[in-house]
Amino acid sequence: MSPRLRWRKFVSGFMLTMTGVCAVVAVAVLFFILGYLVYHGGTSISWNFFTKLPAPVGETGGGMANAIVGSAKLLLLATLIGVPIGFFGAIYLAEFSGGTIAFVVRYAADLLNGVPSIVIGIFAFTLVVQPFKHFSTLAGGFALGLMMIPITLRSTEEFLRAVPRALREGAMALGASKWKTISTVIVPAAYRGILTAILLAFARVAGETAPLLFTALGNRFWSPGWNQPTASLPAMIYTYAIAPYEDWHRQAWAAGLVLLGLILVINIVARAILSRGIAVPRS
């Protein structure tokens, strides 16, 4: 082997090893994050965390029950706004629309998807908070719902399009109307994909903090109804992490563990649902 060739082989082996190192480093970050959260959060999580209100400033103890309920309410509202628009909009795109309108809708959805979440917060503020003159669960849910729309829309459309042509034609040949075909054949055939899309959109907004800062604001007490400021888990993590109290830091870790656990579980479930379904292209 000439020295030149030996050198080239060495470079090849070295660089390829380096790419492997890059991949390992990138993936290791996930386990670092998980490890730290379990280490710090696991020791501070307790029954009180789920059942008690935050303790008054300066006192230790208390929990985040109001933030957990607040997050649930916000996410319920977000789902009610984001899923129907995304789902039915996707049916229109995949089944009814012509070229131009579909292009405009897709373009708008991609645009909306790329908008930084803090800007979505400003939008929800000017649209919902300013007219009603106060921060509310409603405004926060609206902001999160907006973020769910493009994710649900684009992936649902992909999955609807992936339904084999033969199924569609079979239903039509039996004399079913277009709507009947969609509701009894196409959507059921794509339901795993659609469920995955909705779950991933849900997981994505569940951890969003920036759009909640000036829509749902925050609250140290229960927030009755839909028209008052409400606490939420992500916003609580932010407030507690930058506060100067040791006990709050402990609770921020616990909240982080709960939030990340929830999001990762939803992600894994969503992918598991999909992988057991029909073969469909990734969006």
Partner 1 sequence: MATSTTAVPSAGPVAGSRSFLSRLRDGDEIARLITFLFAASVVLITLLLVFELWQGSVLPRHKFGFSFFRTSVWDPIFDQFGALPFIYGTLVTAGVALIIAVPLGIGAAIFLAELAPARISDTLEFFIDLLAAVPSVIYGLLGVFIVVPLMREYIQPGLKNTLGFLPLFQGPAYGVGFLTAGIVLAIMVIPYIISVSREVLLSVPRDQREAALSLGSTRWESTWKVVVPFARGGIMGSIFLALARALGETMAVTMVIGNTPTISASLFSPGYSIAAVIANEFTEATGAMYTQSLIELGLVLFILTFVLNGFARLLIVATSQRGAGMGHT
Q: 131 to 150, contacts with partner 1 by CB under 8 A?
A: 146, 149-150
Stretch that binds partner 1, among 6-14, 42-50, 65-73, 165-173 (CB under 8 A): 6-14
Q: How many CB atoms lie within 10 A of CB 25?
A: 9
Stretch that binds partner 1, among 70-78, 89-97, 162-170, 190-198 (CB under 8 A): 89-97
Which CB sits closer to partner 1, 70 or 256?
256
Q: How far is CA 13 from CA 6, 40, 212, 280, in A?
A: 11, 40, 49, 36
- Which of 172, 167, 145, 169 minimizes the C-alpha distance to 87? 145
Virtual CA dihedral for 248, 254, 255, 260, nearest 10 degrees? 150
Site for partner 1 in 256-275 (CB under 8 A): 256, 259-260, 263-264, 267-268, 271
Give the number of residues in contact with partner 1, rule: CB under 8 A. Answer: 90
CB of 243 to partner 1, least distance (A): 11
Asked if 81 contacts 148 with a C-beta cutoff of 8 angstroms, the reply is: yes
Stretch that binds partner 1, among 50-58, 162-170, 175-183, 219-227 (CB under 8 A): 175-183
Site string for partner 1, 218-257 (x = CB under 8 A): ----------------x--xx--xx------x--xx--x-
CA angle (54, 58, 62) in 5-degree steps: 25
Stretch that binds partner 1, among 68-76, 119-127, 159-167, 219-227 (CB under 8 A): 119-127
CB of 46 to partner 1, least distance (A): 19
For the chain, the straight-line distance linking the first and the last C-alpha, in angstroms and rounded, comes to: 47
- Which of 201, 222, 215, 205 minimizes the C-alpha distance to 69? 222
Residue of the chain from 207, 220, 277, 283 that contacts partner 1 (CB under 8 A): 207
Q: How far apart are CA 148 and CA 125, in angstroms?
A: 17
